[in-house]
A = this chain, B = another copy of it.
Amino acid sequence: MAKMIVGVDLGGTSIKLALLTNNGEFIDKWEVPTDKSDSGKHIPKTITIAIEDKLKQMDKTKEDIAGIGIGAPGSVRLEDGLIFAAVNLGWVNFPLKDILEKESGIPVIVDNDANIAAVGEMWKGAGNGAKDVVMVTLGTGVGGGVIVNGDVAHGISGSAGEIGHITVQLENGVLCNCGKTGCLETISSATGIARIANEKLQNTTKETVLKEMSNDSPITAKDVFEAYSNGDEVAEEIVNHVMRYLALVLAGVGNTLNPENIIIGGGVSNAGELLLKPLKKYFDEFAFTTVRDSTKLSIAKLGNDAGAIGAAYLVKKFITNEI
């Protein structure tokens, strides 16, 4: 019987673990808290114990595991699994693969979490097996994973996929967490949408349900899409504004790579068709004709499972060489 695979999605608050079949189906999922003390040096030990405990419960051993695939929140060098920097965990130049392999005695492959989610969607989700896929994650920030010819693009310093920091406003852009102004992230993240909505409420004289929604607490991105789905005109203006800039960037990425799929994930993507319809309209306006006609936009399908599934794919690709 083919060995099982461990998928790990490493976050600043919790470590999500999953045990998967060789074919990427879930056997079990569980999580443990992230111990960030001492600059995150205990994390490999935490992961090892979590896996050992699970194997014991199942009456299995390390021999039953083909490898551990990990998505880490930072820039990664694939070849040796070095984390250049993972600010949330306190890691700088942290040789995660080496340490975890020594600790656990199981082969390890590491990649950036957004990249691994993109790989998961490529394999089992909205990418549907395509070899050229771009995934953009709209959450607190805007992340990205880029797959070209079936392989994740990392670039020379592991910063490929920083789509959220593409400049979209040349004049009067808002300051981004990255230190620049006018980044896509300042507009199309959940945070950006909420900011734009709250600003708009201060400056509009139009009737809008957003006004009542803002009585108790500031408007959220979810509120905006909810109001939009009920035909609210001000919410529609906000959604159009946000999707126009997202489309501008995705058309640019589309013209650069002509991927088969551009997949929208993250919390904001729960808006589904409400998001996709205006996004496609503007994408068609900005994309080169052939790209417009061949690159498909779609909503991510795997949600939080994308990371573990992507990690399993990387184990099959780089550890057991089955792909």
Contact = CB atoms under 8 A, between A and B. Distances in A.
A290 interface: yes
Contacts of A158: 258, 290
A113 to B, nearest CB: 16
A323 interface: no
Contacts of A163: 255-256
A72 to B, nearest CB: 16
A98 interface: no
Given A149-B151, A178-B288, A257 B160 contact: yes
A286 B162 CA distance: 12
Contacts of A130: 156
A159 B294 contact: yes
* Copies of the protein in its oligomer: 2
A155 B132 contact: yes
A159 B258 contact: yes
A231 to B, nearest CB: 27
Contacts of A295: 155-156
Interface in A115-164: 130, 132, 144, 146, 148-149, 151, 153-163
Interface string A280-295: 0000011011110111
Contact of A180 (B154, B252, B288): B288
A220 interface: no
B159 A252 contact: no
A158 B294 CA distance: 10
A151 B259 CA distance: 15
A37 B290 CA distance: 26
A255 B156 contact: no
A251 interface: yes
A166 interface: yes
Nearest to A130: B156
Contact of A248 (B157, B159, B167): B167
A75 interface: yes
A252 B166 contact: yes
A170 interface: yes
B146 A257 contact: yes
A3 to B, nearest CB: 27
